[in-house]
Chain A
Amino acid sequence: MAVGKEILDTLHALVDRDITLMHICGTHEAAIARAGLRSVLPERLKIVMGPGCPVCITPQGEIDAALDLVERDCTIATYGDLLRVPGTKGSLESSGGDVRVVQGIHKAAEIARREPDREVVFISVGFETTAPTVAATILSRPPENFSILSCHRLVPPAMAWLLGQGEASLDGFLLPGHVCAVMGYEEYERFPVPQVVAGFEPEDILLGLLMAVQQVREGAHRVENAYPRVVTREGNVKAKRLMYEVFEPYDVEWRGFPVIPASGLRLKPEFEGYDAQKKYDIEIRHVDKHSACICDKVLRGIARPSDCKLFGKVCTPRTPVGPCMVSHEGACKIWHLYESRRA
């Protein structure tokens, strides 16, 4: 890591104050943990993971809604990452219903086409990376026995909330590379805080950190692109257009967060027929948390997985207590993987 060494030396020379940077991406967390970057960074530079795991930020009320759909005898199709996320009464995996893992929404629509007697509901989680794939499928007019439970969330409104609220004392952000591959980074320019779109090699991440640290020192705030190989300012224009043709933003709660204005995506009225919540009259209830799980704090960037009393003891990937230990993009799952390797 010759280039990395140089960047790292520069970072050590530049960090002369406490700086906290947040990234919002499970793949960033995995890359950081895998390369052991935190252990070589300057002591005063802290990297925290924010709400960058779509499965983790899906509140329990929406998991419960998926379980309600099982009870209505629907066939549930969704991503493998969601199966073991605990709801109030068990998980999709333990529900005993007809639950099928699919690669993406197009495969769920195929099931509906193949099995016209079944009511097929796709549990649709994901950020802006994923929502356009759902939009494209809805626009292809799947059969009537197909619908989705839209659990989609948008990243910028959560950033706005974190900045307004201030509990994590953030000095800047590494922006999520794949969200920005689709959306570009124009809409992030309104945030008065240092931001860098970063790639996924250790060198890419170090470079992103360096650029953000330089901005902090200068007292500057702009969006810089350290990942021009994949990300452009305008992103994928076609994907964005399809997404807003089908979805509209609405106010919704995130796990660990209160209701964040315009942070969710729901189907527009003309696609209501595909909205499982309306079709089956499902109510999404707010569920207060009762366990010792601190996923909420981990997602807000104010606690690390290892701060949780249950981490690695009661809560493991085999016996997950919270969603952060279930999803491949969850901070707890990622930390558990690399800690158990190092031990």
Chain B
Amino acid sequence: MCIAMPAEVLEIKEGNIGVVDFGDLQQEVRLDLVDVKVGEFVLVHVGFAIQRLSREEGLETREVFRQVYAAMEE
């Protein structure tokens, strides 16, 4: 529940909605809490981007989370 995952912002739609890419999955998330541009990375939690990340952080961190969460979700 406190789980958060880095994702890349692919598109910004009307109403503070962004389409983000988690690497293997694309999803719409709320952007109310961050000011971001397309191509930037964000940390996503319960359907909201909660913080902006640099590109390297995003890519580096994503794999770690994926492994930890894959196990937790079993």
Could you tell me which A residues sit within 8 Å of B by CB distance? Answer: 25-27, 30-31, 34, 52-55, 79, 81, 103-107, 125-127, 129-130, 132-133, 136-137, 140, 176, 178-179, 181-182, 199-201, 229-230, 235-236, 238-239, 242, 327-329, 334, 337-338
Contact = CB atoms under 8 A, between A and B. Distances in A.
B51 A181 contact: yes
B68 A133 contact: no
Contacts of A182: 50-51
A327 B3 CA distance: 12
B68 to A, nearest CB: 5
Contact of A181 (B4, B48, B69, B73): B4
B51 A130 contact: no
A229 B57 CA distance: 6
B50 A230 contact: no
Interface in B31-70: 32-35, 43, 45-48, 50-54, 56-57, 60-61, 64-65, 67-69
Contacts of B2: 25-27, 52-54, 126-127, 129-130, 176, 178-179, 329
Nearest to A35: B68
Contacts of B72: 26-27, 30, 328-329, 334, 337
Interface of B: 1-4, 30, 32-35, 43, 45-48, 50-54, 56-57, 60-61, 64-65, 67-69, 71-74
Contacts of B74: 337
A328 B3 contact: yes
Nearest to B31: A136
9 tightest Cβ-Cβ pairs between the two chains A and B = A104-B47, A104-B46, A136-B32, A133-B48, A229-B57, A239-B33, A103-B47, A181-B51, A328-B72
B73 to A, nearest CB: 7
B45 to A, nearest CB: 6
B24 to A, nearest CB: 17
Given A34-B68, A106-B48, A55 B35 contact: no
A136 B48 contact: yes
Contacts of A334: 72
B57 A81 contact: no
Contact of B45 (A34, A129, A329): A129
Given A27-B2, A178-B4, A179-B2, 18 more contacts: A26-B72, A27-B68, A30-B72, A34-B67, A53-B2, A104-B46, A104-B47, A106-B47, A130-B1, A133-B50, A140-B32, A182-B50, A230-B43, A230-B61, A236-B33, A236-B34, A236-B50, A328-B73
B53 A129 contact: no
Contact of B1 (A30, A329, A338): A329
Contacts of B48: 104, 106, 132-133, 136
Nearest to B57: A229
A229 B60 contact: yes
Contacts of B56: 229
Contacts of B61: 199-200, 229-230
A54 B57 contact: no
A242 B51 CA distance: 14
A30 to B, nearest CB: 5
B12 to A, nearest CB: 16
Contacts of B33: 132-133, 136, 236, 238-239, 242
A69 B45 CA distance: 26
7 contacts: A30-B68, A31-B64, A34-B67, A54-B2, A133-B46, A136-B33, A182-B50
A52 B2 CA distance: 9
Given A54-B1, A136-B32, A178-B4, A201 B64 contact: yes
B35 A238 contact: yes
A132 B30 contact: no
